[in-house]
Amino acid sequence: MSSDPRISLIKGDGIGVDVSEAAIVVAKAACAKCNCDFAIQTINAGAEYYRATGQDIEPDGEEKAGEAQAIFLGAIGLPSVRYPDGTEISPHLRLRDRYGLYAGVRPVKAYPNAPQRLADPRAAGIDMVILRESTEGLFYSAAVHDRSDVVPDTSVIDKMLVTRDISEKLHRFAFRLAQKRKSRGKAGRLTCVDKANVFKSMAFFRKIFDETAADFPDVPTSYNYVDAMALDLVRQPWAFDVMVMENIFGDILSDLAGGLVGGMGMAACAEIGDTIGLFQPAHGSAPDIMGQDKANPLAAILSASLMLDYLADTCDLPAFADAAGLIDTAVEAGFADNALRPMEFGGDMGTKAVTSEVLSRVW
């Protein structure tokens, strides 16, 4: 058996197939350049698989996914395929819950020659991370737990859960991430985003943030209410570095922030727990353009870079960090040279051309 780290690959639906294949090709090339490698086990899951089999993931697929060192997911979901209760096919939500993937990492970075929605020249320097708790909060009601209290056609109550155990883990992850970014030349500031002036759950979330801060005196901290944070992401996003927040707040603000730097085609994502991480582009499956060489693969490629950086830390294999750096540099330089022009941005390059350009700069 290979001693290389193992990746569980779930290509999923729609363009998930296209972009995940592009991401793995680039990740493999970067690893080859840095004299490291990873093994792949493919797991069938998603809406198309559900339509064909009546199951949303292959037999023992959840267990197999967790036997690897990381999971890479393309995208899951088709508009025409639903569970009997009308909700979207979502085995990845069970993976998130089962493996305790509490830390949702959403980098937000502006690239030269990519669309920038803000006229202020400082928007060219946007480089921050939204850290979203991913297992509880308001999404607690949408996972495998009791979904809601319902009086038919009268009312629905969805529950928000904030626990000390997960919040402590999340905040420690946030402080360590701020330290890591500072060591790489970033600002290393950490902002707690909440609604502590209204909700007891959010006051509790902030209380645990403050307790954790005492163990990280080198990390400058601040607070922002979520509504003010939405305003500041439009008014002065360059003023922030790492922001930590509850699940639904992170879901909303990460899309807003992604829109500032080009759109969801650039939205990389990592969901990390104590024993495994799941990596995926944050966009949907876009089945209307599947297989047409139109999808922007960069969110998936940048997610693969996050995965390699994660493997470097968790497997104590520094070469993977070098490989991640090659990918990040290739994307940055490709945009700087106006050599990356995805169709998503009105350019002339489809999935294959973008992937080939990144590959040429990695190798």
Two tokens at 161? 């859960």
Question: How many of the other CB atoms lie within 10 Å of CB of 335?
Answer: 20
Q: Kindly state the tokens that stand for 311.
A: 């493997």
Q: Which two tokens stand for residue 133?
A: 């708790």
Per-residue pLDDT of the chain (363 residues; tens, 9 = 90+): 357 999 999 999 999 999 999 999 999 999 999 999 999 999 999 999 999 999 999 999 999 999 999 999 999 999 999 999 888 999 998 999 899 999 999 999 999 999 988 999 999 999 999 999 999 999 887 654 454 565 677 888 888 999 999 999 999 999 999 999 999 999 999 999 999 999 999 999 999 999 999 999 999 999 999 999 999 999 999 999 999 999 999 999 999 999 999 888 899 999 999 999 999 999 999 999 999 999 999 999 999 999 999 999 999 999 999 999 999 999 999 999 999 999 999 999 999 999 999 999 998
3 state SS of 41? strand
User: In terms of DSSP H, where are the helices of the chain?
Assistant: 15-33, 47-53, 61-66, 91-98, 164-183, 200-213, 226-235, 247-260, 298-314, 318-336, 351-362
Q: CATH number of 116-260: 3.80.10.10, 3.40.50.300, 3.40.718.10, 3.40.50.10470? A: 3.40.718.10
How far is the CA of 268 from the CAs of 31, 163, 273, 278, 341, in angstroms? Answer: 19, 27, 17, 11, 18
CATH code that applies to domain 1-107+268-363? 3.40.718.10
Sequence ranges of the domains in the chain: 1-107+268-363, 116-260
Torsion from C-alpha of 199, 205, 208, 209, nearest 10 degrees: -120
Residues 6 or more apart whose Cβ sits within 8 Å of residue 53? none
The Cα 13–Cα 73 span in angstroms is: 10
| DSSP annotation of 158 | P
SS3 124: helix
**Spatial contact of 54 and 89, defined as CB atoms under 8 Å apart:** no
Is the pTM above the cut of 0.85? yes
Give bridge partners of residue 51 from the DSSP assignment. none
